[in-house]
Amino acid sequence: MDVDSADSSPPPPVAHLPHLDVGQDPPPLDDVRSSRPRPSPPLLQAARPHRPRSLSNITDEALSQKMKYSKDVSSSRRKSRKAHFTAPSHVRRVIMSAPLAKELREKHNVKAVPIRKDDEVKIVRGNFKGQEGKVMQVYRKKYVIHIERITRDKVNGTSVPVGIHPSNVVVTKLHLDNDRKALLERKAKA
């Protein structure tokens, strides 16, 4: 047997595969998805052709219902959150206001004031609801206040103050100095 004659023989014939013919689509896959009937597309509104709405078609009444009152203020959630979390300290002071108790509200004719150290507060919401104490620290960076005797024990035994948001407390006793009195008088007039 000659080695050269074995190499020169033609290759064995390949079985004919109909799905490989040029110009034909392959047959559908034999899987569960192809055997299910396809849902028909939802019915479209054939009565009304799509027309882009121009501002001339919209009445003033419709505009007033959909648009904001002030164009200078954004309704965007993203912008509101950015403004809140990057607010400077003097803005955070106003955001961290707490409502006054009923007796103080009637006495000073003021509903809420920015909270400050040495105010006495009562917690009205959350795990510490019903507890009272003096404000030890107003932590503007974290938007919380620390109240005396409101602490949590750590694993190593040390106790740390628990931050409470000012909206979850009511002020029961105000720490009054000249600036605070002037603020209350100014707010009562407004």
If phi over 0 gives left and psi between -120 and 50 gives alpha, with beta otherwise, what is residue 143? left
pLDDT digits (tens, 9 = 90+) for 138-160: 999 999 999 999 999 999 999 99
Higher-scoring residue by pLDDT: 3, 104: 104
pLDDT at residue 5 tops 80? no
Q: What is the pTM of this model?
A: 0.63
144 token code pair: 């919380």
Does residue 39 surpass a pLDDT of 90?
no
Per-residue pLDDT tens digits for 133-143: 999 999 999 99
CB 95 within 8 Å of CB 114? no
Of all residues in the chain, the percent with pLDDT exceeding 90 is 61
Does the pLDDT at position 169 exceed 60? yes
Rg (alpha carbons) of the chain, rounded to whole number? 37
- Give me the residues paired with residue 145 across strands: 138, 164
Amino acid (1-letter code) at residue 183: L
State which amino acid sits at residue 57: N
Q: β-strands 144-153, 132-139: how paired?
A: antiparallel
pLDDT > 90? residue 190: no
- In 3D space, the residue among 98, 189, 83 whose CA is nearest the CA of residue 138 turns out to be 98
Q: Is the distance from CB of 97 to CB of 112 less than 8 angstroms?
A: yes
Asked whether the beta carbons of 170 and 124 are under 8 A apart, the reply is yes
3-state secondary structure 55-94: HHHCCHHHHHHHCCCCCCCCCCHHHHHHHHHCCCHHHHHH
CA 142 to chain centre: 17
Is pLDDT at 36 greater than 90 in this prediction? no
